[in-house]
Copies of this chain bind each other. A is one copy, B any other.
Amino acid sequence: MRLLSPPVGLPVLSESDLVRQVARRLTDAITRGDLPPGAKVAEAAVARELGISRAPVREAARLLESQGLLCAHPRRGFFVRELSPADIDDLYDLRLCIERHAAVEAARRLDAPARAALRACLDDLYAAAQRDDAARTVEADYRFHRKICEIAGNGRLLRLFDGLATELKVVIGLIGRLYDDPHAIARTHEPVLAALEAGHAERIVAHVDHHLGVARREVGRLVRALSPGPEAP
């Protein structure tokens, strides 16, 4: 099995905050695609693999359930949440909603270090695209958007973004790649940063809308190409 990879060595789990550690292992396995949508998360198997009892596993699963990553069917167990095309639409809709807000707010608070941080994120993005490293490209993309939310200064908004990003990573991991041209992804971020620095609210919203709209269409297209048909949970 070996789905829940330990960092590297043989020792499986340390002692403190077991539940949190299990939750992280599970989310990693899900975003990595080792636990694909719809897969059953058997508590006993997870517990055995990690060398612990089932109680902490169940608690971790509850954490992920509230987060929307897992879905509990009574008497049947936990399953990795399946995302229908409509779900993905909702996800991107919500993401648009909060990133617009975050971007406008971030522009109001944009100082020199914040600007530099954003620039650094973009540089990472370019570098990853240059190296044709799909995983790192997605990660750098995510970092850029996350940084905007961070600068916006609303901790709850940031947590929300992280949650959405985790769910989106599942589908992105599923389709394997985000764009055909890895460089295009980097370039499409430039107008967003430019608008942020300009500080003009309407232009910010317009560029965020456009940028996310492109991503949404792209992901939607790829997902629809992959999914065989409409599935009802």
Instruction: Give the copy number.
Output: 2
A85 to chain B, nearest CB (A): 13
Residues of B within 8 A of A87 (CB): 155-156
Contact of A90 among B67, B93, B94, B155 (CB under 8 A): B155
A90–B17 touching, CB < 8 Å? no
Q: Residue A222 at the B interface, CB < 8 A? A: no
* Least distance between A26 CB and chain B CB atoms (Å): 13
B160 touching A93 by the CB < 8 A rule? no
Q: A101 an interface residue at 8 Å Cβ cutoff? A: yes
Contact of A63 among B66, B91, B97 (CB under 8 A): B66
A93 to B91, CA, bound (A): 20
A55 at the interface (CB under 8 A from B): yes
Give the interface residue-count category, chain A: 20 to 34
Using CB atoms, name the residue of chain B closest to A95.
Answer: B156
- Contacting residues, chain B, for A97 (C-beta < 8 A): 97-98, 100-101, 157
Identify which of B17, B64, B160 contacts A94 (C-beta below 8 A): B160
Closest B residue, CB atoms, query A167: B156
What CA separation (Å) do A90 and B102 show in the bound complex? 12
CB-based contact A93/B154 at 8 Å:
yes
Closest residue on chain B to residue A59 by CB atoms: B62
Residues of A within 8 A of B (CB): 16-17, 19, 55, 58-60, 62-68, 74, 87, 90-91, 93-94, 96-98, 100-101, 105, 154-157, 160
| A-B pairs with beta carbons under 8 Å apart, 14 shown | A19-B62, A60-B62, A62-B62, A62-B63, A62-B66, A63-B66, A66-B66, A90-B155, A93-B154, A94-B154, A94-B157, A96-B101, A97-B101, A98-B98
